[in-house]
């Protein structure tokens, strides 16, 4: 009986202790939620330097002396907003670029209305993008610029670089689908079976809220249950609450997608896989990937359920460039931009990669040729030197290709 009484006393004592901790936690959570929270996103200052219809071009000024003389244009997807790159202090790709002297431009696609329903991929790539590239080239007095594409914006950037290679100095693609012949992830399976004609004919522009719901359903347990359980468990953590709300703001800020653009992208890319085959036509011109002879840096996420590695890694093998680098990070579709781990691997690598090619571009041609010859001799001939441009290494357990032989660029 004595042992039983002691056990009961211990249980009651533990329950009382837990109840007190829960009360304190609830009180702290109430204080956090009732106080003024800093949940603003995209707070880095910029100026709009070009506008056309709904499309705007943002220019961010470097906060230090420019270290890369060639300006960088970032092209985001038509889905969600480019504000992902400037989501929160300390985890801002935009701020990381500016801190290292990158002259940064970014396209804001805006919010399509009913009058934009018939805009095609050609209108975006050979229209808006080409006009913006020409504007930056003229404004900076440079024949070529650096181009960085994200997700669907990366697909557009690949198309643009193939159609206008004379205007692009270096091409960067991040979580960019180019090979759609894969069953990794439900998105690719669903899109292949989607009756896109009926959807576009019914909706006109594809509603952003509908697209967003579809993305949530791809992983409902994690995106519709687990994350909100995690929020409840961390309501007493002010930093967690602020970051959670910032992310929710971005997720549910979903512009519609222009109807004809969506129709062509689904048909030509997801269902026919024409882009990676160099059989896709944009504005009556064939998108020949071999025309992409400029250096290519290709990032993707190992655990990306929207754009899996199989959708990204084939690009470097199909382009005409001999300077390609594939980097696979242990993260998902969004973590590549906002996770603390990837902040140390993503932006610094891009800056280093651009700086190396910016400096080499300024060399006299004869000196560069001598450098190439020395590299070829050291590696056993020109063929082996060219092959050395595409090698493989591992980053946190994920294979990558690296193509930087600085002396041979």
Query: Are the beta carbons of 151 and 176 closer than 8 angstroms?
Result: yes
CA dist list (Å): 142 to 71, 224, 346: 9, 47, 26
3-class secondary-structure state, position 401? strand
Catalytic, out of 151, 269, 328, 342 = 151
Q: How far is CA 386 from the centre of its chain?
A: 29
151 is catalytic: yes
Q: How far is CA 213 from the centre of its chain?
A: 20
Q: What are the φ/ψ torsions at residue 389 (nearest 5 degrees)?
A: -65, -25
The residue behind tokens 């576009």 is 200
Q: Which of 181, 134, 127, 176 is nearest to 298 (CA)?
A: 176
Q: In whole angstroms, give the CA distance from residue 229 to residue 371.
A: 58
What tokens does 370 get? 């001598």
Residue 292 CB neighbours (<10 A): 26
Residue 244 CB neighbours (<10 A): 18
Active site members: 151
């Amino acid at each position: 009986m004595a042992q039983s009484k002691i056990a009961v006393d211990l249980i009651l004592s533990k329950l009382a202790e837990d109840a007190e901790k829960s009360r304190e936690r609830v009180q702290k959570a109430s204080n956090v939620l009732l106080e003024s929270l800093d949940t603003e996103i995209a707070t880095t200052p910029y100026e709009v330097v070009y506008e056309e219809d709904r499309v705007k071009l943002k220019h961010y000024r470097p906060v230090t002396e420019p270290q890369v003389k060639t300006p960088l244009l970032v092209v985001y997807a038509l889905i969600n907003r480019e504000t992902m790159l400037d989501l929160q202090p300390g985890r801002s790709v935009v701020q990381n670029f500016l801190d290292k002297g990158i002259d940064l431009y970014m396209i804001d696609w805006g919010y399509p209305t009913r009058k934009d329903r018939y805009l095609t991929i050609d209108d975006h790539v050979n229209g808006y993008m080409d006009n913006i590239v020409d504007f930056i080239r003229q404004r900076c007095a440079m024949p070529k610029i650096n181009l960085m594409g994200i997700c669907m914006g990366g697909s557009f950037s690949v198309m643009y670089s193939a159609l206008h290679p004379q205007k692009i100095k270096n091409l960067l693609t991040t979580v960019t689908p180019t090979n759609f012949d894969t069953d990794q992830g439900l998105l690719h399976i669903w899109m292949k079976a989607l009756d896109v004609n009926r959807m576009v004919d019914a909706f006109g522009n594809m509603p952003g809220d509908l697209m967003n719901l579809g993305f949530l359903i791809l992983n409902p347990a994690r995106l519709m249950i687990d994350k909100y359980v995690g929020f409840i468990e961390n309501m007493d953590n002010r930093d967690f609450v602020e970051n959670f709300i910032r992310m929710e703001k971005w997720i549910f800020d979903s512009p519609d997608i222009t109807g004809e653009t969506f129709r062509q992208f689904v048909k030509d890319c997801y269902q026919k896989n024409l882009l990676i085959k160099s059989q896709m036509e944009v504005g009556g011109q064939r998108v020949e990937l071999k025309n992409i002879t400029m250096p290519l840096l290709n990032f993707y996420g190992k655990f990306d359920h929207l754009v899996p590695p199989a959708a990204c890694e084939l690009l470097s093998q199909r382009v005409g460039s001999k300077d390609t680098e594939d980097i696979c990070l242990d993260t998902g579709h969004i973590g590549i931009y906002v996770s603390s781990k990837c902040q140390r691997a993503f932006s610094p690598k891009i800056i280093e990669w651009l700086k190396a090619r910016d400096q080499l571009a300024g060399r006299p041609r004869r000196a560069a040729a001598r450098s190439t010859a020395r590299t070829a001799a050291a590696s056993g001939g020109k063929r082996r030197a060219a092959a050395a441009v595409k090698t493989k290494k591992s980053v946190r357990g994920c294979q990558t290709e690296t193509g930087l032989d600085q002396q041979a660029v």
